[in-house]
Amino acid sequence: MLIFEQLPKFDRPLRWLTAVIVTGLAILVVGLWYVQVVARQRYLSDQAAQSFRTVRIPAVRGNILDRNGLILAENRPSYHASLYLEELSKQFRFSYSQVLSNESSRLQHEFKRKPTREERAQLARLARFLVASNVVQRLGLILQQDVPLSPDDFHAHYEQRLALPLPVMRDLQAAQIARLMEQTGLPLGIDLDIQPLRHYPHGSVAAHILGHLRRENTPGDGAELSFNYRLPDYVGELGVEKQFDEHLRGRAGVKSVLVNSLGYRQSENIWTPAAPGKNLVLTLDLPLQIEVEKALAEADRNSGQPARGAVIVMDAHNGDILAMASAPDFDPNHFIPSISHQEMETLSDPILRPMINKASQGLYPPGSIFKIVTGLAALEAGVAQPDLVIKSPGFVQLGSQIIKDTAPAGEYDFKRAFKLSSNTYFIQQGLKTGLDNLLRAGQRFHLGESAGLPTCQNAAGVFPSREMIRRQTLRGDPWTEGDTANLCIGQGAITVTPLQIAVLTAAVANGGKVFWPRLLQRIENSERSVTGADALYYPPRLRGELGMASQSLEIIRAAMLADVEDADGTGRRAAVAGWRIGGKTGTAEIKKGNAVIDKVTWFASFAPYEAPRYVVVVMIEGGVSGGATCAPVAGQVYRSLQRLLKDADRRGKVLAAS
């Protein structure tokens, strides 16, 4: 090389030095080439990873609507006062310098030393909190109320979520927002953020069907662990909010936040916009639901305590649930953003059980409502005849067991026995019909099986089968004639839900079709199309046929009509002008030992008699009797139905699909 040729041949050390320098320069050039060309993309990726923070943005939750498009659950704008920490970075440094100076002087004066590294870190934390708390205090003066700022919450946010604003006051009221907007300038670092918040505009109306949300504390799936931050999100915890959560939640979006070397936010961009959730259209009719809940709340109760019970209005033609009320209820708004421990304790009351949907989850003995099934079984077996008269002594004696009758002693044909709810008549007819025929009749109504409410708030109840009786016998508790007698009048080894009784009554009213209850009409996009082409429809579903003679069903319907229309019928208090109603009352005793500790009262009905369309079932715990407590509630519901149907005609809308 030219460099070496210019060196004297005898200057060997200089030659070695020159070789080392040239080699070093060559290595440096190769290294620069590798860094800037070969590894360029990897370093750019590392830089981006250190400079950008990914944030998961929850989607706007879909609405829940009634059958006519009225809002049951929606999202309202919620305004938060947030602290943007990057705007306070200079104040943080200035405060730290002052705090450090004061503390250094003290340590030097008292201990002749300087602050340690750990002490400096604690002083920096203190300085930042002093600045933030002063800003929040000024915010409180504007809002004319205390705005607390916890040191632990502040430090945790600064150290873990520095790139995001710190909410210091959530869900501001209208008056508070107005005070902030009147200010010529907000305190440094304070700004208003808007987030959608779940809102139930009618409070507790249909709460057990709608359910409620809870704040999600952990990612829903492993893929979301890749986000640096997650903004607050909610998941369904009960009712349709839970069962259809995947449809309602939509698809989360992603935004990137550019941060500087200290971690402060510099700017942000939306990478993937969030896709809003889908809307649910239910079979409920909101005005009717409100009237039904009002009727239940005003029920005449013997105890004087808040109503404990359920009311269901069902379309007998297709199983549509037009209204479903359960009492006591709750307000799902109280779960947003979170419910207090004190209120949660109230909702966990083991007696009132306000979180339980008594219409579909409550299990109760049906009492005399089951005489519908007993009567059908006896008619189908040829044992009972409409005009056959039986003399009743006013009780039934089976060995040493005596079952008293609430109906007086005397002569009874089928209709009179039904409308006066004679235990003696139906026990005698049921025993002649035989246990197997009774079991088959109940199984045709799918008693002892879940009614299949799509909210998964279902209880199957108890209805005996030959297998159950066999297992009971093996346990040393054989089935007796007394057990069959109790079953004939809806006591003993049988429990049902009000929803199961509604399905049973609808099958009698419509001529023998057993429908699955339908609560969801369709799922549609949040931008509702005119044609509805993108909607996912849930048509009515037929579960089975009773396979019973139409004459048997008509005899039962006629007896139910007499129960309401005749002056001595137990259901006469359900009568309304303009409609002929068929119904059946029931009263079942809840015993502890030999003592009666509670009553379950019932009224199951349909109307109009000539063309049955609406089924109304009322169940109230602690009532006086089915006729005294539940029948008047049903009458009030029917009057509301009549009035709303007239309004619906004027609006061009219907309560039930044709």
Contact status, residue 522 vs residue 542, Cβ threshold 8 Å: no
* Helix orientation angle between 550-565 and 371-380, rounded to the nearest 10 degrees: 140
Q: What is the pLDDT of residues 465-483, one digit of tens each?
A: 999 999 998 999 999 999 9
- 378 against 163, higher pLDDT: 378
Q: What is the pLDDT of residue 258?
A: 77
Contact status, residue 412 vs residue 396, Cβ threshold 8 Å: no
Q: What is the pLDDT of residues 7-20, one digit of tens each?
A: 555 566 766 777 77
Q: What is the mean pLDDT of residues 281-297?
A: 97
Flag whether pLDDT at 560 surpasses 70: yes
- 648 against 573, higher pLDDT: 573
Q: What is the pLDDT of residue 25?
A: 80
Q: What is the mean pLDDT of residues 329-346?
A: 92
Q: What is the mean pLDDT of residues 629-654?
A: 89
Q: What is the pLDDT of residues 305-328, one digit of tens each?
A: 788 999 999 999 999 999 999 999
Q: Which amino acid is present at 332?
A: P
Flag whether pLDDT at 48 surpasses 60: no
If you compute the radius of gyration of the chain from its CA atoms, what whole number of angstroms results? 37
- 108 against 462, higher pLDDT: 462
- 495 against 175, higher pLDDT: 495
Q: What is the mean pLDDT of residues 401-412?
A: 90
- Structural domains of the chain, ranges and CATH numbers in brackets: 56-282 (3.90.1310.10), 286-329+357-523+538-651 (3.40.710.10)
Q: What is the pLDDT of residues 622-636, one digit of tens each?
A: 999 999 999 999 999
Could you tell me the pLDDT band of residue 3, with boundaries at 50, 70 and 90? low
Distances (CA, A) of 242 to 195, 196, 211, 540: 21, 19, 7, 22
| Range scoring the smallest mean pLDDT among 106-115, 134-143, 567-576, 632-641 | 106-115
Q: What is the mean pLDDT of residues 579-598?
A: 89
Q: What is the pLDDT of residues 169-185, one digit of tens each?
A: 988 888 888 888 888 78
| Range scoring the smallest mean pLDDT among 131-145, 300-314, 609-623, 626-640 | 300-314
Q: What is the pLDDT of residue 274?
A: 84
Q: What is the pLDDT of residues 440-460, one digit of tens each?
A: 999 999 999 999 998 889 999
């609808």: which residue's tokens?
506
390-394, 614-618, 623-627: which is most confident: 614-618
Beta strands across the sheet bearing 253-259 = 229-230, 52-57, 253-259, 265-272
117 φ/ψ sector (left φ>0, alpha ψ -120 to 50, else beta): alpha
> Which three-class secondary structure string do you get for 10-46?
CCHHHHHHHHHHHHHHHHHHHHHHHHHHHCHHHHHHH
61-70, 218-227, 388-397, 594-603: which is most confident: 61-70
Q: What is the pLDDT of residue 320?
A: 98
Read off φ and ψ for residue 561, nearest 5 degrees. -65, -45
Q: What is the pLDDT of residues 52-105, one digit of tens each?
A: 778 888 889 999 999 999 999 999 999 999 999 999 999 999 999 999 999 899
Q: What is the pLDDT of residue 531?
A: 47
* Helix orientation angle between 89-111 and 117-143, rounded to the nearest 10 degrees: 130
- 452 against 499, higher pLDDT: 499
Give the residue from 184, 142, 182, 150 showing the smallest Cα distance to 166.
150
Q: What is the pLDDT of residues 188-229, one digit of tens each?
A: 999 888 889 999 999 999 999 999 999 887 655 444 556 777
Q: Tell me the average pLDDT of the chain.
A: 89
Q: What is the pLDDT of residue 15?
A: 66
Question: What is the separation, in whole angstroms, between the first and last Cα of the chain?
Answer: 101
In the chain, % of residues over pLDDT 90: 64
Flag whether pLDDT at 42 surpasses 90: no
Could you tell me the pLDDT band of residue 6, with boundaries at 50, 70 and 90? low
- 50 against 241, higher pLDDT: 241
Question: In 3-state terms, what secondary structure has residue 588?
Answer: strand
Q: How many helices (H) and strands (E) does the chain have?
A: 21, 24
Q: pTM value? A: 0.86
Q: What is the pLDDT of residues 413-437, one digit of tens each?
A: 999 999 999 999 999 999 999 999 9
Flag whether pLDDT at 505 surpasses 50: yes
DSSP string over 76-111: EEEEEEEE-GGGGHHHHHHHHHHHHHHHHHHHHHHH
Flag whether pLDDT at 158 surpasses 60: yes
